Amino acid sequence: MKIDWERYVPPGINHKKEREWIIAGLVISLICSMGFLLSYIENYRALFWELDGEKGIIKGALMPDFVGLLNSRLYGFPVLALCMVAVFLYHYLYHYQGSKSIYLMKRLPDRFELWRRCLTLPLAAALLSMVIAAALMLLYFGIYMYFTPDVCLTPNQWEKTGSVLLGVAL
Amino acid sequence: MIELKNVSKSYHGKQALKEVSLCLPRGEIVGLFGENGAGKTTFMKCLLSFLPYEGEILLDGEKITRKNITKLSFATSEHSFFPQLTAAAHKDFYQMHFPNFSEKRFDGLMEFFSLPQNKLLAGFSMGQKNQFEVILALCQGADYVLMDEPFAGNDIFNREDFYKVLTGILEPGETVILSTHLLEEVQNFISRAVLIHHGSIVGDVSMNELEENGKNLMGFVKETYHYRADRVSKALSDLTGDEEREEF
């Protein structure tokens, strides 16, 4: 399905450039989030002893909590979502730049046209950003639970993650 | 018909319109005159529902909503087009949103004023921008065309051309409400003059009435505003002290 973005941004705005910036933001956030994997690998290795080719789990070694490893590595996505507030404001104020095209938008028979054109792209980007953040968190959690030896896991990982996320959200 | 009933509007306690009541039937070209800050622009913005107001405005007997707003078009010296769009793209946009948009009139007027179809509006001269603004308002397919100082920045030849074109293309049912300071220029092409002063309607006269009474528009305006003809000479003599010099 190809979206005609021209119909969902203020007329004359460079939506290709905006989409490029949003994609760049998502890629940077993704790269930042990969710090989790580096941190996980480092901590995973620290669980084992290795001597003359033999390998074993260090007695009493524990993997740090998932939420501790994740730390602020997914923050790029909510930050990008917050930046979309600025994009929305830019879209709205665009109607005052060089002319007062806001007068035309307010005279259109479709009352939602102005808001559709101001909101769609930033809202879609914010939602996409949060969905990717959630998907990555699930993926990283899966990696954490799958690869970490059971004896090194502390209990209630999901609950701990949930309570931290909820704490941040609240 | 546009009916205004006791329409008032104030900004931060200062009244811009004071209980304005007016009927504007179809088929008229109405000149709206008044000094800067008299309330002409506020009058138009209230008509277009851009501003909240007290009182009532009816458009063909109904309140102005999104359902009937297409009956009104608006050309303003502030411009309401998109500077980063071409004229052709504006045509597409208008066709998409205004079902009565007149493509024939648009193409005709674009050709008459030799405006480029595929150049961004930002690259137009001020005169061209004004022309394009008015073209859009005239082609929208509205019954009532509101124009707020549409020719500010256009040269006299340009304006004269426009008056001629305007009178030539208007359909009998189309109404134009034109706010301008250019009284003498428009007096031969308007059918009615409405004068606003400090937010109140202080004069409302048909051009036929003026003609019958042997008056012209400028005379009517000066009379209505109690214009003091000796104002300039008195100010000059005060400034230069001519009278004192004469005494010596």
What type of residue is B2? I
Q: What single DSSP character describes residue B86?
A: B
Q: Which of A79, A75, A69 is nearest to A140 (CA)?
A: A69
B247 pLDDT higher than 70:
no
Asked if the Cβ–Cβ distance from A106 to B83 is below 8 Å, we say: no
Q: Which residue has the higher pLDDT, B169 or A41?
A: A41
Indicate whether B246 belongs to any domain: no
Range of the domain at B203: 2-231
B73 pLDDT higher than 70:
yes
Minimum distance, in Å, between the CA of residue A100 and any CA atom of chain B: 5
What type of residue is B92? D
Q: pLDDT over 70 for what percent of chain B?
A: 96
Indicate whether B241 belongs to any domain: no
Counting beta carbons within 10 angstroms of the beta carbon of residue B173, is it exposed (0 to 12), middle (13 to 18) or buried (19 or more)? exposed
Q: What is the ipTM of this complex?
A: 0.88
Q: Which residues from chain B sit within 8 angstroms of residue A109, using beta carbons? A: 66-67, 69-70, 97-98
Minimum distance, in Å, between the CA of residue A116 and any CA atom of chain B: 14
| CATH code where residue B179 lies | 3.40.50.300
pLDDT of residue B248: 43
Helix (H) or strand (E) holding A48: strand A48-51
Q: Which of A77, A97, A94, A72 is nearest to A22 (CA)?
A: A77
pLDDT of residue A167: 63
Domain tally, chain B: 1
Cα B148 to Cα B21, B43, B74, B152, distances in angstroms: 19, 10, 8, 9
Q: Which residues from chain B sit within 8 angstroms of residue A90, using beta carbons? A: none
B241 pLDDT higher than 90:
no
| Predicted confidence (pLDDT) per residue in A69-126, tens digit | 998 899 999 999 999 999 999 999 999 999 999 999 999 999 999 999 999 999 999 9
CA distance A34 to A28: 10
Domain ranges for chain A: 12-169
Indicate whether B197 belongs to any domain: yes
DSSP track, B100-143: T--HHHHHHHHHHTT--SSSBGGGS-HHHHHHHHHHHHHHS--S
Indicate whether B106 belongs to any domain: yes
Q: pLDDT over 90 for what percent of chain B?
A: 66
Indicate whether B239 belongs to any domain: no
| Predicted confidence (pLDDT) per residue in B147-158, tens digit | 998 887 778 877
